[in-house]
Structure 1
Amino acid sequence: MEELLAEVVGVLVTVVEACGAAVILVGAVWAFARFVWVGVRGHGSRAFVPVRLTLGRFLALGLEFQLASDVLRTAVAPSFRELGQLAAVAAIRTALNYFLSREIAEERRQVAEEAREATPDPAAPESPGRTA
């Protein structure tokens, strides 16, 4: 029975790893296409921020899939060595995901701030030099 479970988990690990790789690949292709599109259209460097944010989200999701495959790999009768390797890999991937998420949140905050600064407040009184 344990051998059958090990085979099933092995297949699941492969599927989940493939899903993670596919997510990262799709994100990279999408980001590259958007990068080229924004670059060709001649927008400023700030136009690349949404591209980076989206790529970051794809990478974070791909890392989650990869971590899930590592957890699955050790699901059937793990040894202490395998558990130690999982702990190390999980710590590294979690740290990567944490810092990537922090960078995404910071970029979003900056984009929102810039959008607020660029949009005039309709409730604000008009300046003397402005005409309607």
Structure 2
Amino acid sequence: MARGWILEAAHLVATLAELAAVVIVVAALLEGLWRSAKVFMQRDQVPDELKESLRLQLGRWLAIALEFLLAADIMLTAVAPTWEEIGKLAAIATIRTALNFFLQKEIEAHEQRHGRTTHPDHT
């Protein structure tokens, strides 16, 4: 009885984490589209630095979404009944972790090149 409840709770938490990731990605895409449209409508030529800043702002939100997806993977791994499912979840988690790692490296490189931290409010 308790094991069934734990499985249901783990699946619910994982589903909520995945839903949060979807909401974050949709919001990030809408924000990125809005900011990009504003920038491109106000200028004839958009500096590369500004384009990079817009892209990295989106990247930051995507990194947050990846963290939520990784949390969901961890929850599902904890209750996965077979080694095959654990293997699939491990592969997915590895890919998501690698994506997040390289995204973070790109953000840090941008910040080092420009000697500052870029925040989503700066466009």
Equivalent in the alignment of 1:91 = 94
Equivalent in the alignment of 1:60 = 63
Distance 1:61 1:46, change over 3 A: same
Structure-1 separation of matches of 2:101 and 2:37:
28
Equivalent in the alignment of 2:81 = 78
Contact (CA 8 Å) 2:73, 2:89: kept in 1 or not?
Answer: yes
Deviations 1:12-52 (A, max 9, x none): 11111001111111111111111111111104332222211
TM-score by length of 1: 0.77
Unaligned 5+ segments in structure 1 are: 114-132
Larger Rg: 1
Equivalent in the alignment of 1:126 = none
Aligned residue pairs total 113
Unaligned 5+ segments in structure 2 are: 117-123
Contact (CA 8 Å) 1:38, 1:48: kept in 2 or not?
Answer: no
Deviations 1:70-92 (A, max 9, x none): 11112225321122112111111
Q: Give aligned-pair identity as a percent.
A: 35
Q: Does 1:112 align with 2:105?
A: no
Structure-1 separation of matches of 2:109 and 2:99:
15
Higher relative contact order (CA 8 A, sep 6+): 2
Contact (CA 8 Å) 2:80, 2:86: kept in 1 or not?
Answer: no
Q: Secondary structure at the match of 1:78?
A: coil
